[in-house]
Amino acid sequence: MISYTLFAVALGIGGIFSSVWHYQAKYRKGRLCGVTLPPDGMEDTEVESVRAEFRRSSLKAMLFLLAVLAPFFFSREYFAVNYAYFFVWLMMAFLLSSRPFILANRALKRIKRERGWSSGSTRLVQADLRVSRDKERGALPLAWFLLPLIPAVLLLVHSAQTGQIPVLLSSTVSILMTLLSLMMTMQSRRLKARVYHSDSSLNLELRQKKLHVQSLFWLLLALFEAVFSFLFAISIEGESNGEGAFPLWGVLMVAVPVLLLIFFLRYWEAVKNRVLPEEREDASILLDEDDYWVDGLYYCNPDNPAVFVEDRTGFGTTVNFATRKGRAILKGSLGLTVFLVLGAGILIGVLDSVPPRMELHSNGKVRIDYPVYSYSFDLDQVKSVSLTDSLPRGKRTNGLGTDQTARGNFRLDGWGRSKVYIYRNNPPYLVVELSDMHVVFNKKNPQETRELYASLRAAWKDGK
């Protein structure tokens, strides 16, 4: 089921890429595929040919990426393999889906140079002093971000005390998302005020409305993550197998933020169209920075000291990689991502590939060796030893559960707290009843499980 979750998340991310590139194929805000063009330039046959080729290539890339998701269905029992393939697919998805955009961006820049088109100054940066002074008045108070932060912190503390790993992870993600949203809101306040029009009152109104829209978007995103993490934790702990609702949660995790972003982008465009007069933005204050956008994706302007700048959608921000801090942010983000992905991959690979081992020692101690979830008990603590072909339903409190295995801490119906180390749907199961919990164990080979049961039961009877 976890493999299906990865498939659902990959499908959602593919949808994000598709919508992003579809948006770039439309002539908006004087730009096509990240290149600033005059309105009459859209009547150029070569420009239209580039746009048509971009759409065809983007469609082919997305169809190919959908086709190569098939391995998730044929290797669902190998979670570690699917985990590695998921990130390989993500890298491939970004490279392949962005390639048509890069080629179109380069082609349009060439056409623009050949035609001698210009859409404004490449150096001039104007500022409206009134907007710069009053620009933060439209933003929501930063204290509002305590609404998602406080419950997430309380949930984190509770999960740390009870040892509930899924709740711990979900609350940690919620806290990180809230802090990221807070940081993005604060950064939006610091951005240089954009000059939309020669009328200062319009600039001020648009700046304040945009800050309000941006801060509201980030606050709602943080609130969604807090609610999502809480409900997700409840769901996976309530599922008897631990992963029943994973695909649905995977789709919601991607779909809701994307829909939220699309709504606010369209809402901001509607607000801007309503505030600006018929002639829209003054052409005299347009800034043509195409040469500073490498392949239309990365902003690199050594003449601009700002670390963060408004991105080309006109809603969010991006990093100026020509600055020292911008390069440090890039290196730090890449390093942290690689560390987390590789670290989690290594842990998952070990947990998925190393089988648990139960050993009976001469001093009457039984030890189960398994990464992270090792456990030991004395034979004089044992109340009964049995062999069964079925197990009661229950829920996982923390541990690892895939379609093939279940390892870690569970709470089973009628048994309560239990340590589980089993291959699913592979009876018999060795059940050891202790005074305060049950230990459930089996091996991949049923005969080896029976032999282990016989030796453990004999040692337990001899010690009584």
pLDDT in tens, the chain (464 residues): 556 667 777 877 887 788 888 888 888 778 899 888 888 888 899 999 999 999 999 999 999 998 988 887 776 666 777 778 888 888 899 899 999 999 999 999 999 989 888 655 544 444 444 444 455 566 788 899 999 999 888 877 876 665 555 566 667 778 888 888 888 888 777 766 666 666 777 777 777 888 888 889 989 988 988 888 777 666 655 544 444 455 566 667 767 887 888 788 788 878 878 887 655 544 444 556 788 888 888 888 888 887 877 777 555 678 888 899 888 988 888 887 788 778 777 777 777 778 899 998 888 899 999 987 889 999 989 999 999 999 998 877 777 777 788 888 888 989 999 999 999 889 999 999 998 899 999 999 999 999 999 999 998 887 65
CA distances to 15, 62, 187, 367, 403 from 21, in Å = 10, 10, 26, 55, 36
Residue 166 has what pLDDT? 59
Does this model's pTM top 0.85? My answer is no
Which whole-number Å values give the CA distances from 167 to 24, 108, 138, 187, 232, in the listed order? Answer: 39, 49, 36, 30, 8
Distance (Å, whole) CA 287 – CA 175: 38
**Of 103, 84, 106, the residue nearest 95 (C-alpha):** 103
> Which uninterrupted H or E stretch holds 430?
strand 429-434
